[in-house]
Amino acid sequence: MARFKEYSYEQQLLLPVSFANQILPGTFEYTLNMLINEKLDLSIFYNRFKNDTDGAPAYDPSILLKIVLLAYSKGIISSRKIAEFSSENIVCIALSADSKPHFTTIKLFAVIPETFLKN
């Protein structure tokens, strides 16, 4: 009779993941991260927020921009699919520092930017 290695779906596995080690030099993700962090002027996004004293903290627009552009580069354009991508793809998780914006946040940021940018 054949023998098989034992397995159990009840076991747990904890994998330590360093976000910085997932963004490898020479990749699109590395370039995207560098451009958004070091080269782009994102003040048009930052001026939109007036929650210094009131309201919940907002997602950093640089994080949202990274998520959206990475998803677009993979052919993902639906805000719901982008939200799913941002919580399942390890490179996107690393690039966004494990931010998991709701699809409506992504929609307001990417699909309807005038609502996000209006004064």
- pLDDT the model gives residue 115: 59
pLDDT tens for 11-22 read 887 878 888 888
Quote the CA–CA distance of 53 and 104 in Å, as a whole number.
24
Residue identified by tokens 């921009």 is 65
Buried b / exposed e over 41-51, threshold 16 CB at 10 Å, is eeeebeeeeee
Domain ranges across the chain = 19-49+59-117
pTM score, two decimals? 0.81
Whether 116 has a pLDDT exceeding 60, the answer reads no
Question: Which ranges of 35-96 does DSSP label H, i.e. alpha helix?
Answer: 43-46, 61-73, 79-88, 90-95
